[in-house]
Structure 1
């Protein structure tokens, strides 16, 4: 009777741990499409050319969270939402984003505030640099402080990236509009 009770207890504990991990993992998107959706959208593309995005990250930054991938995905979504570029892929505008700073609180009872610095450079279809700026943002999670820490941490990173990318697209729009 004791071994059956012990086995049942182990199964119950394992199930509880597995479901908790699944819920936490599924509850937090890696990017923040809700914030990226706020990027200004133009009625028709300013350019016929498409854009090509390349992201690099300072090798001193721990990239365990694949920050470079999150920046690339967020930037591509923001550019698509903005409608600044056309569809001609023959000679795309090249956009490079170099993540210079990506720090975030490892432990927090609040919003896991972090700093993000990205240097953006844009080259036209002939390879001429037309824009360069470093954008620094500070942001934290907007989730309820009682939400799981993993969810708040992930949301904080996603928000910071989205806010940074949106600011870049806004600045790029003013350059391309001229």
Structure 2
């Protein structure tokens, strides 16, 4: 994954620009669950047990929080894979994150049991982020590709997924 070191740098610069230039959407909560049960052999959570917490924090960093009447973002990660395989190698590397994002209306309460209403689904969409390698890439003379560390690659994938989630939110 030699290309990703350069991509990670560009990605972090892109995210900083995104956060600074865009009006941050207001939500009441962000909930992320890594539910990889569709793939019995998936071992991603053995390598990355805090994936759901890390993704939730990354998404939350691009949002403003308001009261319970604001929309709630729910992310269900359903697949973590390396080149399509849900069994990650001993290094824990992956290049594919896939899930379903749902935006629910805020839960309105009037302090009685009867006053609770189920939140309406305002928006729902699948989201997949896949990293590509830079193999076979022609670099200018004097340029070198440096492979990222396992943590750098993980951080770049989580940050890219979070950025795409927030970019697709549409509940004005």
The answer to whether the superposition gives a TM-score over 0.5 is yes
Q: Which structure exhibits the higher relative contact order, with contacts defined as CA atoms closer than 8 Å and separated by 6 or more residues? A: 2
TM-score by length of 1: 0.58
Change over 3 Å in CA distance of 1:69–1:168 after alignment to 2:
same
1:91 counterpart SS class: coil
Partner of 2:69: 91
TM-score by length of 2: 0.60
RMSD: 3.0
Partner of 2:52: 68
Change over 3 Å in CA distance of 1:72–1:42 after alignment to 2:
same
Q: Highest CA radius of gyration, 1 or 2?
A: 1
1:167 counterpart SS class: helix
Deviation at 1:166, TM superposition (A): 1.0
1:89 counterpart SS class: coil
Measured against aligned partners, the alpha-carbon deviations of 1:66-122 in whole angstroms (never above 9, x if no partner) come to 211111111111224xxxxxx5324232111001111245368xxx55100021100
Give unmatched runs, 5+ long, in structure 1: 1-31, 81-86
Partner of 2:89: 106
Change over 3 Å in CA distance of 1:100–1:114 after alignment to 2:
same
Partner of 1:144: 146
Aligned residues: 127
More helix by share: 1
Deviation at 1:123, TM superposition (A): 0.6
